[in-house]
Structure 1
Amino acid sequence: MVSSAQKWRFLPDGSAAGLTGDTGRWMGPRTGRLRRRRRGGLVAFALALGCLIVGCGTSGGGSDAPDQAFGPSTTASEGSGAASASPPSEAWSPSGAPPTSGVPTGPGSASGAPLPAVPSAPLPEDGTQPRLLWSEEFEGPTGASIDPSKWLITTGGNWGPTDVACYTSNPRNVALDGNGHLTLTAIAEESAEPGCAGTKFSSGRVETRGKASWKYGYFEFRARLPIGTGTLPALWLLGPNGIYDWPRSGEIDVVEATANEPATVHTNIVGVDRSGSRWEAGWWGQGKAYVYAGGTLSDRYHTYALGWGPDSLDFYFDGMRIRHIEKKDTPVWLWNRDFYIIMDIAVSAKLSPPLPPASAFPQVLSVDYVRIYDRKP
């Protein structure tokens, strides 16, 4: 089990490294597919027989219209003004409606307790749909960097006593794959990038720090997490000035994963108690960790989401609520200010001392999209 004090790379002296980035392109949510209804052969035969006996008029007959269109409609590509859409990277389903294959069909919490059924948020009185506030679909050519207007690429090493990776802006560590995904790759190597001297691994980390931050809403990530020995992938949010003021800044871990628990979705929040000392809700135990019954977190893409309101935090896995935290559950409520997004794949000596085996690498965190709504879709 990894403590937040050892895991997060925010040092008291505020040391941080330079940040760079290249271009990317945004595309709207992918469109759904349509199904068509088929009439059975027996029904057609019965109708024909009826026509022979009693005669048939010239009515219009049955409808051949599609049943329903899944997903949001095509939206215009940012900056181009042209409508565009792309096919799903894999079997995709709308937010809140996980694919039917490979997902748990019954209770799957670590404690074995049934999960509470949580419907989508009701529509407001004016009948409007949930509004998409911000989106990143990671469309672009293979090897391209991410959009510098949205993201910073964190660089440098020494992010904590057990973090043995150096983050770089090298495309080997941070790049688009050409199929609508961002790939953050951890590699067993002594990187020649600036600030990486003496480190044995390179990796990738990106943030919206200084670009965009949010207070409240529904934050959804679709990603395939690595579970290799020594890796600690995370999709998380950090409060204002978090680089220098952690843990007083506040932290929200939407998901973390480790090799020794490859099917477990760990969630957590970190802050301070009334004395100012570090406090955390914890990432293991009854009602805290969720065990996926359909495989591991690396065998396919899953959605991980946060529903954040003024007095509560809800965590979701494939559209199912798996954890609920209220203001009264915390000694000091820090989650009433703007937070920014971080996605990274850390390499920890604590998870596999003294160093993770080089044979377990490379390991890839692949992110399909990040979408932020004003409330749960």
Structure 2
Amino acid sequence: MKLPLLKGRTRRAVAVALAACCVSLAPVNAGAPASATHVWRLELADDFEGAAGSLPDADKWIIDLGTGYPGGPPQWGTGEVQTYTADPANLSRDGNGNLRITPLRDRAGRWTSGRIETRRSDFQPPAGGRLRIQARIQLPAVTGPAAEGYWPALWTMGAPFRTGQAPSPTAGEFDIMENVNGLNRIWGVMHCGTPTGGPCNESTGIAATTSCPRTRCTGHFHTYTLDWDRSTQPERLSWYVDGRQYHTVSSAQVDEAAWSAATGHGHFILLNLAIGGGFPNALAGKSTPTQRTRPGSPMLVDHVTVLTSGTA
């Protein structure tokens, strides 16, 4: 894949993603004949260049607002307490090539934050190929009691959820990176099937957790990756942090109908920083946020890159 039309940080971000694709991860279509050519295609690249205080590119991103989708469950279905806004204080480019998502609390104790999702909802591997979603993110530099309730995430949802054709988690949800309460850990999760129990053990999902290489997960940039591989049988999803694999889910682990309902279509990508809700509450063993939770610690997103590959 050639990158002559890309500039600066965008070009570097894509080059890094391509290098990781070809070196750190398993080869594409490993069972294909030796004559098959490995082809990567750029589907999305955003390095969040722009003036300080400007909103993310509206051609690429939708800004979610309020406390739930129209007609959907309250508190986004997870019990989180913040209201999402388009206020640059909550959501904006920082002028240094990052998207900044900042949770804030007003004098009345009301929390606000930011959440975006890609306009495209068709991200999936081609037949016999792979999809790679990668983002370089600095999690909020806050720990201990001051972090209780913080819930930053990079994730996807199946397109049928957006169109109302299938509910969550039936349409599929891939949590590429979740972090809660400022812990030095991240989680990767596949959600599918029914809201409780079922093939993906809801509401927990099929999950794994790990610390981050070299430096803490919080307060430092790390690269989070999901590799969705249709070049192998069984089909599989693999999670990475800084190129190190820590979780895999294959179609052999989930019944055929549930796997198809979660993966037989495109997905859209989301970035958000929630406050409170079921996951941070469960890890804290109490309701979050608390009076000791400190507002104002942002999540910074350096870039998001999506690549697909096949054979030619």
Q: TM-score interval w.r.t. the shorter chain? A: 0.7 to 0.9
1:233 to 113, 131, 152: 152
- Alpha-carbon distance in 2 for matches of 1:224, 1:275: 32
Query: Does the CA contact (< 8 Å) of 2:121 and 2:159 recur in 1?
Result: no
Do residues 258 (structure 1) and 180 (structure 2) align? Answer: yes
TM-score after normalising by structure 2: 0.74
- Partner Cα separation in structure 2 for residue 326 and residue 276 of structure 1: 18
CA contact (8 A) 1:97 1:319 kept: no
Cα deviation, residue 215, structure 1:
1.3
Alignment of 1:1-377 (within 5 A): 75-76=4-5, 84-86=7-9, 94-95=16-17, 118-121=25-28, 125=35, 127-157=37-67, 158-160=75-77, 162-189=79-106, 200-209=110-119, 211-216=120-125, 217-226=131-140, 228-242=147-161, 244=164, 245-259=167-181, 262-272=183-193, 279-280=200-201, 282=204, 288-310=208-230, 311-331=235-255, 332-333=258-259, 334-348=262-276, 350=281, 351=284, 353=287, 355-357=289-291, 359-375=293-309
Following superposition, the deviation at residue 272 of structure 1 comes to: 0.9
User: Alignment identity in percent?
Assistant: 23
* CA–CA separation in structure 1 for the residues paired with 2:205 and 2:80: 19
Query: Post-superposition shift, 1:274?
Result: 11
- TM-score in terms of structure 1 length: 0.62
Shift of residue 93 of structure 1?
8.5
Alignment partners' CA distance in 2, 1:347 and 1:275: 23
SS of 1:272's equivalent in the other structure is coil
Residues 120 and 145 (structure 1 numbering): CA distance in 2 closer, same or farther, change over 3 Å?
A: same
Q: Is the 8 A contact 2:190 2:249 kept in 1?
A: no
Moved more, 200-209 or 356-365: 356-365
> Aligned partners of 1:169 and 1:179: how far apart in 2?
19
Deviation by residue 1:307-344 (Cα, 9 ceiling, x = unmatched): 11232101111112111110011132021211100110
* Paired residue type of 1:95: A
Question: What is the CA-CA distance between 1:213 and the residue it aligns to?
Answer: 2.5
Counterpart Cα distance in 2 of 1:250 and 1:88: 31
Q: 1:372 to 1:161 in 2, by over 3 A?
A: closer
Offset at residue 359 of structure 1 (A): 5.0
Secondary structure, aligned partner of 1:238: strand
Task: Give the distance between the partners of 2:103 and 2:196, measured in 1 at CA.
Answer: 38
Gaps of 5+ in 2: 68-74, 126-130
**Partner SS, residue 179 of structure 1:** coil
CA contact (8 A) 1:96 1:320 kept: no
Cα distance per residue 1:200-258 (max 9 Å; x no partner): 1000000014x342112111111111252211111000012325511211100001011
Structure 1 unmatched runs, 5+: 1-71, 78-83, 99-116, 191-197
What secondary structure is seen at the aligned counterpart in 1 of 2:304?
strand
Q: Which moved more, 1:263-272 or 1:349-358?
A: 349-358
CA distance in 2, matches of 1:205, 1:265: 19
Higher relative CO (CA 8 A, sep ≥ 6), structure 1 or 2?
2
Q: Looking at CA atoms only, which structure, 1 or 2, has the larger radius of gyration?
A: 1
Aligned partners of 1:368 and 1:135: how far apart in 2?
11
Equivalent position SS for 1:252: strand
C-alpha root-mean-square deviation of aligned residues, in Å?
A: 3.4
* Residue 166 of structure 1, CA deviation: 0.3
CA 1:367–1:161: 2 relative to 1, 3 Å: closer
SS of the residue 2:252 aligns to = helix
Q: Residues 200 and 307 (structure 1 numbering): CA distance in 2 closer, same or farther, change over 3 Å?
A: same
1:314, 1:133 → 2: CA distance? 19
Instruction: Indicate conservation of the 8 Å contact 2:169/2:194, yes or no.
Output: no
After the TM superposition, list the runs of 4 or more consecutive aligned residues in structure 1 that deviate by more than 3 angstroms.
72-75, 86-90, 95-98, 117-129, 273-285
Distance in 1 between residues matched to 2:218 and 2:194, nearest whole Å: 35
Greater helix fraction, Structure 1 or Structure 2: 2
